[in-house]
Copies of this chain bind each other. A is one copy, B any other.
Amino acid sequence: MSERLVVIGADAAGMSGASQARRMRGAHDLEIVAFERSTWVSYSACGTPYFVGGYVPRVEDLIARTPAEFAARDIDVRIRHEVTAIDAAARRVTVRDLEHARDLTLDYDALLYATGARPRRPAIEGAELAGVHELHTLDHALALRRVVEARPRAAVIVGGGYIGLEVAEALMHEGIATTVVTSPAAVLDPQLDTDMGERVVAYMREQGIAVETGLRIACLAGADGRVTGVDCQADGQSARFPADVVVLGLGSVPEVRLAEAAGIPLGESGAVSIDDHMRTGVEGVWAAGDCAEAYHRISGRPVNFHLGTIANKQGRIAGSNLGGGDEAFPGVLGTAITKVCDLEIARTGLTEAAARDAGFDVIAETFDSTTTAGYWPTAEPMTMKVIADGANGRLLGAQIVGGSGAAKRIDAVAMALWNEMTVEAMVNVDLSYAPPFSGVWDPVLVAARKAADARARN
């Protein structure tokens, strides 16, 4: 008799896990059933802002695989099916068939909990008004695209994180007057240090995106049930930003409600606690992706990042182990990249602020350079910040803001960070050079040398 794997959540982590388990074990040996409460499976959540902005014309372009394609690989994906309870002792899930409004139960031998994250929704007066949107799912993207096509006059994005910035670019790209309001002193906090985030703010303003930092959202104003603006406060002053569309981009939280109810232990980050094989604290239950923790290789702490890269890797490793393999997940650095218009932004490891909070004796050096040889006709500015441990020179993190070709350099730094290199050891690494690509000393090497020099001076 074959075993049954049940997967909760049919997106990056869940379907990576299902696919990998299937690669390792045949259909006669392992039945795989995945439940998805939405109508969409296995899509690129990171691509949704670009669908909103019209860069990616068809929503189908964002879909990696359909339920039919999974079916052809003997993976039974049931959309519009929401798992409502896990009985871990009985190894049984209760599932609501949303289409037919009925419940069913299904026994499992192994369960992969891959419910992802949901938008953070602090109580904001007016959040229920028409014209207030968020962007977390493909359905949200479809709704927001319809709004864009109806040509609103003015949009306000509440929140300066990745989604906020990507939506701001999308709306500006479509010719909509766009304002970003955010409470920290700069955008992309805490992904970037404030000094680097301020460079992004300056660029966005140059591009015609209004950015208002240091503002606390008081409420959303409305008339006749429709949003008309965002009321903010700072230093006792208040300001209203008129808008006929508001997008809330206030981050996301791990979707752990079902796990909590089932007694699956959460970790200090608030996400499901897992070991390096993706096993939870409950026998037969595994977890992966945005709902689960990951070991941070630099801080040594469990963290909960919501990144497709981590979800895919954790899902694949869960699938390997569910399929009878023995693979450990080596942890994360928090490497991420995005762009706003033509400004590229990337980060890895700890920021200067996070490194100080973690108690490191921090060296932080910022270096202004160009994306190519300085004399190359398409040279654009790039700024790189390197954070190192003053005690032993070990690289702790880096951030890059710059023109075309700047940001993917973060991967070379991430590879150095992964290998626990010191900034001193990085200085002479044999990286590539030709005038259309960099100066003879790539900015990665120069930034490392600046940090090494700063250490030598101390």
Contacts and interface: CB of A to CB of B under 8 A. Distances in A.
A145 to B, nearest CB: 15
Interface range for A: 35 or more
Contact of A434 (B338, B418, B441, B442): B338
A431 B335 contact: yes
A432 B335 contact: yes
Nearest to A429: B418
Number of copies: 2
Interface stretch (A43-51, A82-90, A112-120, A230-238): A43-51
A333 B47 CA distance: 36
A310 B428 CA distance: 9
Nearest to A431: B411
B414 A411 contact: no
A46 B312 CA distance: 40
Interface string A373-411: 101110000000000000000000000000011011111
Interface stretch (A33-41, A55-63, A202-210, A358-366): A55-63
A330 interface: yes
A335 B50 CA distance: 35
Nearest to A47: B435
Contacts of A80: none
B407 A437 contact: yes
Given A409-B408, A412-B412, A414-B431, A436 B339 contact: yes
Interface in A405-455: 405, 407-412, 414-416, 418-419, 421, 425, 428-438, 440-442, 444
A308 interface: yes
Interface of A: 12, 44, 46-47, 50, 55-56, 61-62, 297, 307-310, 312-313, 317, 329-339, 344, 346, 348, 373, 375-377, 404-405, 407-412, 414-416, 418-419, 421, 425, 428-438, 440-442, 444
19 contacts: A46-B434, A50-B436, A55-B376, A55-B377, A308-B440, A309-B432, A330-B425, A330-B428, A334-B430, A335-B430, A346-B432, A348-B430, A408-B437, A408-B438, A410-B432, A412-B412, A412-B414, A412-B415, A419-B419
Given A55-B376, A418-B429, 19 more contacts: A12-B440, A47-B373, A56-B375, A308-B433, A308-B440, A309-B431, A309-B440, A310-B430, A329-B428, A330-B425, A332-B430, A336-B432, A348-B432, A405-B408, A408-B437, A411-B444, A412-B415, A414-B430, A414-B432
